[in-house]
A and B are shown apart, each in its own frame.
Chain A
Amino acid sequence: MSQPEMPLEQTGPTEQPEEAQAPQPQIVQTTVIEEQTIVETPSAREPRDAANWAQVVTALRVSELPVGAVNLNVNGRQVVGPLQGFGKMWQKTYWVRLSGAKVTPTEVIQTWKEQFPNFWPKGNRFFKPLTGIKPGEVATLSLNVGGMQLSTGVLVLYADDESFALMTPQGHILAGWITFSAYEEDGATVAKVQLLIRANDPLYEIGLRLGGHRQEDRFWIHTLTALAAYFGVNGIIHHRQECVDPRLQWSQAGNIWQNAAVRTTIYSVLAPVRWVRRLAGAKRTNA
């Protein structure tokens, strides 16, 4: 997909996302119906989001592998939230107004789910689960990180008609989740990516500081540019970021043993050894 040059608005680290600044009525009063008293325990009600969340998983498991995907650094890994990673915690928000496009938030999210890999920059592959982006599904990824390939995955943590979220596993560059959403604002649909993340281990933290954050910015700016272009919009990509927690979590430094970049490199280096072993095994079988 062609990528038109887009002006980029970057703002300082202390600003809040746009939605936090917009004036809005925020309190909805509870309505009391006559004198009827309804006693409910917390667990007695079925919440509206019940079907939107993944089930609790102790370890990820790829059910069916799409063609071309590598199941490396995914099976058996636990998901990790922003509280479990090592580096500084960041909240990064990227958004684009789809001005002029007659498209609803639901249609944007439906398209985004269906075409998700097509909006990614070249050299990075997202192997969508065969059943699509649905809660609990696991996708495998092949990422280009500074010219190096990195195999990992993500869990579809949450999905509804107007948003979905991906949560990362052990070994991924980032610990946390990325939420993709769309909503209406001032007569236009806005598409948004929001990350709440920290580097998973010390090696990744160094990498992020030495250009990784800029590469990540380019990644999501490209994605939103491509999404907007799909709807015929030459939109301005906005970007805000806030350092939520500047502390490093040294208790999580041991995450480095799961580092998917290191493991993918070792896997690639040992490819000839595996090939020779397979060949020798085949010869023994034939003999």
Chain B
Amino acid sequence: MPQANVKMTVRRITPAVSIIDIQGDVSAFAENVLMDAYTEANTPTTRVFILNFSGLEYMNSSGIGLLVTLLIRINRQKQRLLAYGLSEHYRRIFELTRLNEAIGIYDDEAAALHAAGA
């Protein structure tokens, strides 16, 4: 089994907003890492999760699938998912897969935090 080549760190900005910094590859093998990060970021007061893709180096269709399942999980808890730091290439992939219709995408952390109300 290939190793997950990704590191995710959680920053709690406010009681309601958490940022997950993604560094490396998002593929099927990143599932455990992503879900662990989500669990760590999720507190009883968390309302908004922000994914920081500035360190994203690779993503395939399974990786996009992981984001969809994460989005559904978050939406079912009446929470929101935002993203920033996407390169032009990954912005196009979000557009192609129509993920941009469900995840708010922002240029930088300040804009994402503003949208999150932090």
What residues of B have a CB within 8 angstroms of the CB of A30 in the complex?
Answer: 7, 23
Within 8 A of B (CB), among A173-210: 177, 179, 181, 183-186, 194, 196
Q: Do A43 and B87 touch across chains, with their CB atoms under 8 A apart?
A: yes
Which of A55, A81, A165 is in CB contact (< 8 Å) with B68? A81
Chain A contacts for B101, CB-based, 8 A: 83-84
How many residues of B sit at the interface, in one of the four size bands? 35 or more
Indicate if A266 sits at the interface (CB-CB under 8 A). Answer: no
Once the chains bind, are B65 and A196 in contact (CB under 8 Å)? yes
Among the listed A19, A28, A45, A47, which residue makes an inter-chain contact with B28, where contact means beta carbons less than 8 Å apart? A19
Which residues of chain B (4-47) have a CB below 8 Å from chain A?
4-7, 23-24, 28-33
Q: Are B33 and A26 in contact (CB under 8 A)?
A: yes
Known: A43-B87, A84-B98, A157-B97. A179 touches B1 (CB 8 A): no
B1 contacts A81, C-beta separation under 8 Å? no
Task: Please tell me if the beta carbons of A53 and B33 are within 8 angstroms of each other in the complex.
Answer: no
17 A–B contacts from the bound complex (CB under 8 Å)? A19-B29, A20-B32, A24-B1, A26-B29, A42-B53, A46-B89, A49-B59, A50-B89, A57-B96, A79-B96, A89-B72, A157-B96, A158-B60, A158-B61, A163-B60, A177-B97, A194-B28
Chain A: residues with CB nearer than 8 A to chain B?
Answer: 16-17, 19-20, 22, 24-30, 42-43, 45-50, 52-57, 79-84, 89, 91, 157-158, 160, 163, 165, 167, 177, 179, 181, 183-186, 194, 196, 244-245
